[in-house]
A and B are shown apart, each in its own frame.
Chain A
């Protein structure tokens, strides 16, 4: 699984470079995220390329989030396509994550 990571100020922007996040690749996602969540990082997870995410994908994101939180880091999400947004709202993940419509909006608010 490819993650494209760029640094904007103190925010690590991680773009998940795949169209599906489901049972077939959720473990790969967790493994790929491991180096970034094992420290007190400020992560913005950009999901713009993800066309579909199911509960396995969601579980992998939550798992990475919990590791990051235990290290004192923070994770925010942005650029969800409609099907991913449907999933997140069904499981009320907006109670856990701060979710932004797009990267610009996220950076504007977070760096203010």
Chain B
């Protein structure tokens, strides 16, 4: 308590006693008391109203009131001012009752002297003021938590206790430094500081509670707290700790005035809030740990996803371009996919989604994927040498293994199991409640949705599987995906939906699958409002048929592709296969090499010069036999580019580029170029052919 006056009202009808008390209080060594006197209850009540009182010393038996009533009347007028009751030897019990009803203390008249009265009143006022301060601080911080709690407490401490500085610091993990959680100086929150504890001579002091006072220096605080430079006369530190007494930090109060006279009050207030501060620090740490645990779980999820749930995209299937992409949602999901290649013309693919989220779901997905692969291995080793294991058998065995577990776990899996057979020109599929497969047909220039008829795995233990089959042709695009794609929502709450997906594919079917899969998922991500949470995984698997045998007419093959150098391999394969199929016998090696080279060079030139290497432009490529000529048409919409205008290269070793069109010119019998009003460029290459004899 700082040196504030204690305005005391003595209500006592015995004038002599009242005089005695007044004189002893006024003589008190600290000279804090200012004393007034009233001889009756009524007079007392009227004085209370006019005085700014700190305490009341009250005799219970007055001329106009007796016993407990006297106290109750006074207490009613001044519920917040401490009242000390005076009683005689014979009414101890009465005084005790008054204390129970709210009197701060009682004194027996026959046993008191001035010193005792002064001490009791001082204590009563101090307690009252402390309570009021604590109540005010508690009210200031009641609604706050976390960082805002630390800041509002520091601020409230400086303002309520008239301190120059209040400080809340937390030890780092090594307890080598104190990190400021909040510091309030001159009754304002200021920037945080980190005090280094390690290596200081006074290192241990912050582990303990302590007081720094220039008047009576008990403990020096770390030098880099700069207490002396800051003109600090007083520092009180209360240790913050866990229930197990592990140090958490320090709650400190600093002042440029020495506050050692107020030490007890400051200490008790600091101690009162130390528990709440410690609890907040521990809650903050728990939240950080929880966050770290969540991130750790997400990292595990990503690893599971990459290592166990995502299949390896086959690269060496000449008749198919394949790509797959999975973007992890905020929580670990159960999307999985895998490919199984039997030979260059037949492969299986399956895409599944386990209901729910979290690591258990991811593990269930990984387990199911492994089980399907194990069953495939088992069926292959059991004699499927010249034929492929039946889809129904694969799914039935999977159901036998997986469904009972799923049922017991109250979970289920949607699964699409598909087989692409280039020899049979077919797509076969068993669809167990999965999202519809999208099939873009180049012939129809539009996509349709393919759907099967089975229930998700885990709904029943004896579902009868049904195979559905569709023809596939050159240029067709097949897309399997998870519900995260179609069920993404925009700000208005609309789903991305199948219709948008179909439209997207109908406009971008010619892209290389690697670009198409990115384009689709980019569109889905940008459909969802920025900052919105992506709960579901987005999984998308794209196939494009590039096997010319699947063209509807073997003498005229039309194929659309994108302006991406990744397409080169497919172009060369298509051209080579077309040449080799001519008249069932093919061309000689040299002209075939020349044709492949020429088509490769034209394709590169279109991308470089007409499209400036943009990857998403369209090129239509046609191969046909016209009498004894083989003809290749390239149609594109970019910059006007006439290959015939390119000058011939030098062959003296000084030039390492610019050979492409010379190569085309040397390889083919003719190059025709045209450009029409619709900005359509067309290059036609022709070569007279002689098939093998």
B60: min CB distance to chain A, Å: 102
Find out whether the CB atom of A63 lies under 8 angstroms from the CB atom of B590. no
User: What is the distance, in angstroms, from B11's C-beta to the closest C-beta of chain A?
Assistant: 101
| A100 CB-CB contact with B under 8 Å | no
Query: What 0/1 pattern do residues 8 to 52 of A give for CB contact below 8 A with B?
Result: 000000000000101110000000000000000000000000001
Complex Cα distance, B657 from A60, in Å, reads: 8
Do A59 and B659 contact each other (CB < 8 Å), given the known contacts A82-B593, A90-B594? Answer: yes
A112 within 8 A of B: no
9-residue interface stretch from B421-429, B504-512, B597-605: B597-605
Contact B653 A65 (CB under 8 A): yes
Q: Across the interface, name the chain A residue whose C-beta is closest to B608.
A: A23
The answer to the question of B566 belonging to the interface, with a C-beta cut-off of 8 Å to chain A, is yes
Does chain A have a CB within 8 A of B660?
A: yes
Q: Considering the complex, give the chain B residue whose CB is closest to the CB of A83.
A: B593
Q: How far is the CA of A4 from the CA of B659 in the complex (A)?
A: 28
For window 51-74 of A, CB contacts with B under 8 Å fall at: 52, 54-56, 58-60, 62-63, 65-66, 69
In the complex, whether B651 has a CB less than 8 A from a CB of chain A is yes
Partner of A23, one of B594, B604, B651: B604
A54 to B608, CA, bound (A): 15
- In this complex, how many residues of chain A approach chain B with their Cβ under 8 Å: the count is 26
Knowing A91-B651, A95-B651 are in contact, say whether A24-B566 is a contact too (CB < 8 A). Answer: yes
Q: Is B569 an interface residue (CB 8 A)?
A: yes
Q: Are B660 and A55 in contact (CB under 8 A)?
A: yes
Closest Cβ–Cβ distance, residue A31 to chain B (whole Å) = 14
| In the complex, residue of chain A having the shortest beta-carbon distance to the beta carbon of B605 | A55
Asked if B568 lies at the interface with its beta carbon under 8 angstroms from chain A, I say yes
In contact, A86 and B597 (Cβ under 8 angstroms): yes
Check B565–A24 contact: CB distance below 8 A: yes
CB-based contact A96/B653 at 8 Å: yes
Query: Which candidate, B232-240, B241-249, B662-670, is the interface stretch facing chain A?
Result: B662-670
| Residue interface mask B28-39, A partner, CB < 8 A = 1 | 000000000000
Nearest CB on A from B663, distance (A): 5
Contact of B589 among A59, A60, A66, A82 (CB under 8 A): A82
Cross-chain contact B597 with A22 (CB below 8 angstroms): no
B589 to chain A: which residues have CB within 8 Å? Answer: 82
Q: How far is the CB of B204 from chain A (nearest CB, A)?
A: 59
- Asked whether, in the complex, the Cβ of A55 is within 8 Å of the Cβ of B568, the reply is no
Residues of A within 8 A of B658 (CB): 55
Q: A56 touching B604 by the CB < 8 A rule?
A: yes
The answer to the question of B655 belonging to the interface, with a C-beta cut-off of 8 Å to chain A, is: yes
Bound CA span A65–B654, Å: 10
Question: Is A86's CB under 8 angstroms from B590's CB?
Answer: yes
Q: For the complex, what is the distance from the CA of A23 to the CA of B467, rounded to whole Å? A: 43
Contact B597 A66 (CB under 8 A): no
**CB closest residue in chain B, given A85:** B593
Question: In the complex, are the beta carbons of A22 and B600 less than 8 A apart?
Answer: yes
Using CB atoms, name the residue of chain B closest to A82: B589
A107 on the interface (CB 8 Å rule)? no
Say yes or no: is B58 at the interface (Cβ < 8 Å to chain A). no
Is there a chain A Cβ closer than 8 Å to B627's Cβ?
A: no
User: Contact between A55 and B601 (Cβ–Cβ < 8 Å)?
Assistant: yes
Nearest CB in chain A: distance from B611 CB, A: 13
Contact across chains for B593 and A55 when beta carbons are under 8 A apart: no
A96 with B651: in contact, given A24-B565, A82-B589, A86-B590 (CB under 8 Å)? yes
Contact of B628 with A by CB under 8 A: no
Whether B90 is near chain A, meaning CB under 8 Å from some CB there, is no
In angstroms, Cα B575 to Cα A52, docked, is 13
Whether, in the assembled complex, B365 has its beta carbon less than 8 Å from a beta carbon of chain A, the answer is: no
Report whether A24 and B568 are in contact in the complex, using a CB–CB cutoff of 8 Å. Answer: yes
B129 at the interface (CB under 8 A from A): no
Is B596 part of the binding interface, using a Cβ–Cβ cutoff of 8 Å? yes
Any A CB within 8 A of the CB of B187: no
Task: Check B600 against A86 for contact (C-beta < 8 Å).
Answer: no
Q: Which residues of B contact A59 (CB under 8 A)?
A: 656-657, 659
Q: Are A52 and B659 in contact (CB under 8 A)?
A: no
Q: Quick one: CB contact mask for A80-92 with B, threshold 8 Å, 1 for yes?
A: 0011001100111
Q: Mark B397-408, 1 if CB is under 8 A from A, else 0.
A: 000000000000
Given A23-B568, A24-B566, A24-B568, also A54-B604 (CB < 8 A): yes
Chain A contacts for B601, CB-based, 8 A: 54-55
Q: Per-position contact with A for B548-574: 1 when CB-CB < 8 Å, else 0? A: 000000000000000001101100100
Evaluate contact between B656 and A52: CB separation under 8 angstroms: no
Question: Max chain A CB contacts within 10 Å: which of B566, B589, B657, B662?
Answer: B657
- Interface 0/1 of B621-659, CB less than 8 Å to A: 000000000000000000000000000010111111111
User: How far, in angstroms, from A65 to B655 measured CA to CA in the complex?
Assistant: 11
Partner of A55, one of B565, B590, B652, B663: B663
Interface centre among B590, B656, B658 (most CB of A within 10 A): B656
CB-CB < 8 A to B653: which residues of A? 62, 65-66, 69, 96
Contacts of B659 in A (CB 8 A): 55, 58-59, 91
Find out whether the CB atom of A55 lies under 8 angstroms from the CB atom of B651: no
Closest to B591 in A: A86
Annotate B569-597 by CB proximity to A: 1 below 8 A, 0 otherwise.
10010000000000000000110011011
- B594's nearest neighbour on chain A, judged by CB, is A86
Query: Which single residue of chain A is at the shortest CB-CB distance from B655?
Result: A62
**B656 interface neighbour in A20, A23, A62, Cβ under 8 Å:** A62
User: Cβ of A87 and Cβ of B569 under 8 Å apart?
Assistant: no
- Residue in B closest to A81 when the chains form the complex, CB atoms: B593
A51: nearest chain-B partner, CB-CB: B572
Closest CB in chain B relative to A2 CB, distance in Å:
17
Q: Kindly report which residue of chain B lies nearest to residue A19, judged by CB atoms.
A: B569
Tell me if A60 and B651 are in contact (CB < 8 A).
Answer: no
Enumerate 14 A-B pairs (CB-CB under 8 Å) in ascending A order: A20-B569, A22-B568, A24-B565, A54-B604, A58-B656, A59-B659, A62-B653, A66-B653, A86-B597, A91-B649, A91-B651, A91-B659, A91-B663, A96-B653
12 more A-B contacts (CB under 8 A) besides A55-B601, A58-B659, A82-B589? A24-B565, A55-B658, A55-B660, A58-B656, A59-B659, A62-B653, A83-B593, A86-B594, A91-B651, A91-B663, A93-B651, A96-B653
Shortest 8 CB-CB contacts between residues of A and residues of B: A86-B593, A62-B656, A59-B656, A63-B656, A55-B659, A55-B660, A83-B593, A96-B653
